[in-house]
Structure 1
Amino acid sequence: MTKRLPAAVLWDMDGTLVDTEPYWMRAETELIREFGGSWTEEDALQLVGAGLWDAAAVFQREGVDLPADEIVARLTERVREQLAQHGVPWQPGAQELLRSVREAGIPTALVTMSIRSMAEDIVGAIPFTAFDELVTGDEVAAPKPHPEPYLAAAGRLGVDIADCVAIEDSPTGLAAAMSAGAVSIGVPHMLSLDEAPSHVVWPTLDGRSLDDVVAVAASVWDRP
C-alpha cells in the first residue's frame, strides 16, 4: 500500500535549517555590552526560539535603552552581516531532506520568528526553489510558542494543519507546532528536548529521508 504523504512539511529556520544561533548570541552580547550590561550563554539560551519582540522586551529590562523595533532591527542586521561575512551555516542533512521533500511535490513553508528580510537571505542561498510560503516573526500577532505561526502557514498553503509535519529544534517551537496540531519532529541543537512536547526526537537530520518523515506521520495518523 502506498504511504500517505504529508499535505505539507513546515520548517523552522534558526537552529533547524541553519546554525545561526551563535550569530544571534554574538549580536545580543554586543548590544547588551554597548549599554553597560552583561550577557551570558545561559541568558542567551533562554531566548532560543522566542519571538524577537519578546526578546527585545528582555533586552530593555537589561538596560538597552532603545525602542523594541530598533532592537529587533539592530540584532537582525548584525546577524545578516555575519551571514554575509561567514556564509550560511547549514545544519547537517537539512538541505538534503528539504530537497527530497520538494522533489516529491510536497508543499513546504518556512515558519520562523526571524523577520522576513533575514528569512529571504537564507532562502535565497538555497540552490533550488525550497519554499512555497514564508511565515515570519514580523507578520504574526502572536509568536511561538503560540500556534498562530503554524496555523498561518497551513492556511496560506491551503492545507489542514493536522495533515502537516513540522520540524523544530527548540521547546518553544515544538510547543507552537504541537498546539497547532501538526505532527512534530524535534531535532535538538542548543537546547535539550527531553521535556519538550513532540511526536519524535531525532538527534540530527543527517541521513534522514522523506521515508522517515512519512513513517513518523503514519505512526501518529494510524493511532486508534
Structure 2
Amino acid sequence: MTSSAPAAVLWDMDGTLVDTEPFWMAAETPLVERFGGTWTHAQALGMVGLALEDSARLLQNAGVPWGVDEIIAHLTDEVLRQLAVHGVPFRPGAREMLADLRRAGVRTALVTMSMRRMALSIVDLIDFPAFDVVVAGDDVERPKPHPDPYLQAAQSLGVDIASAVAIEDSPNGLRSAIASGAVTLGVPLMVSLDGVGAHALWPTLEGRGAADLAALHAEHAPTLTDVSNPQEKR
C-alpha cells in the first residue's frame, strides 16, 4: 500500500458488513405484538443504528414489560436463530473489500453495537481471519453516536483515529465515526445518510477495494498542520 493508505479500516456490522436489519425487524414486531402492541415499519426504521439499550427502551414504550437486558437477550437470540437458518447475508462487495484489505496488510476492526456473542458468531462464519479487533455494544460504556466505540477500536489497534477510515450505514453510526475523527464513508441501506456529514457516500461497496479506500483517506485525512495546530481551523 502507498503512504496515503489508511492505517486501519473500522467496520460497522449490521447493515454495513451484513444485511441483518430485516432480522432485527422480524424479531421486534412479534415481541411487541405478543403484549398487545403494534410496531410499524417506520418505528422499526427509527431503530436502525441505535444502541441496543436505547432500542430496548423504545420497545418498552411500545408495551413490552421486560427489562432492558431481557429484551436485548431475546432480540439477540432471535437474530442468531435467523442467521442459523438463513446464513450470513453479506452486503454486496463487503466481504470482497474486507478480503482485499487483509491482502493489502491493512488492519481492521469490527465496531458494532450488537452484543459481542453475536459479533463473534458472525466473525466465525467468515472463511478468513477478517478482523484484528472486535468492539461490541457490551464492551463500551457510551455507545454510538458517542465516539467512544471507534476511539476504543483505534486504541486497541494502536493507530491514530485520524489515520483510519470508518464505514457505516446509519446516521447514528456515522455521527459516532465523525465525532471520533476518522475519515468516514457512508454506504446507505435502509435510511438516507444525506446531510449527516460523511466525507463520502457510496451507493455500494461492490467493485471497490483497498485502493479506493486509500484514495478516500488521502483526499480527506487531516494534514499534519491540521492535527498539530487545530486552532488554525475554524
Query: When the two structures are superposed, what TM-score results if normalisation uses the length of structure 2?
Result: 0.93
Which string of whole-angstrom CA distances, capped at 9 and with x for unpartnered residues, describes residues 50-93 of structure 1?
00011111111111100100000000000000000111111000
Compared CA separation, residues 34 and 194, structure 1 to 2 (3 A): same
* Displacement after TM superposition at 1:3 (Å): 4.1
1:163 paired residue number: 163
- Alignment-derived partner of residue 136 in structure 2: 136
C-alpha contact 2:4 2:215 (8 A) present in aligned 1? no
The residue type equivalent to 1:80 in the other structure is L
Indicate the residue corresponding to 2:230 in structure 1. Answer: none
The SS at the match of 1:72 is: helix
Is contact 1:171–1:197 with CA below 8 Å preserved after alignment? no
- 1:208 match: secondary structure: coil
Query: How many pairs align?
Result: 224
Structure 1: gaps (5+ residues):
none
Name the SS for the 2:19 alignment partner.
Answer: coil
Match of 1:84 in 2: 84
- 1:97 paired residue number: 97
Q: Report the 3-state secondary structure (helix = DSSP H, G, I; strand = E; otherwise coil) of the residue aligned with 2:48.
A: coil
Asked whether the equivalents of residues 183 and 199 of structure 1 are also in contact (C-alpha less than 8 Å), the reply is yes
- Deviation, 1:149, is 0.4
Aligned partners of 2:145 and 2:173 also within 8 Å: yes
> Which residue in the other structure is 1:202 paired with?
202
**1:3-152, aligned counterparts within 5 Å?**
3-152=3-152
Q: Distance in 1 between matches of 2:98 and 2:119?
A: 16
- Judge conservation of contact 1:151–1:180 (CA < 8 Å) in 2: yes
**How big is each residue's C-alpha offset from its partner over 1:151-196, in whole Å with a ceiling of 9 and x where there is no partner?**
0000111111011000000111000000000000000000011121
Give the percent of matched residue pairs that are identical in Structure 1 and Structure 2: 58
Cα RMSD (Å): 1.3
Residue ranges of structure 2 left out of the alignment (5+ in a row): 227-234
1:222 CA displacement:
6.6
Letter in structure 1 aligned against 2:68? A
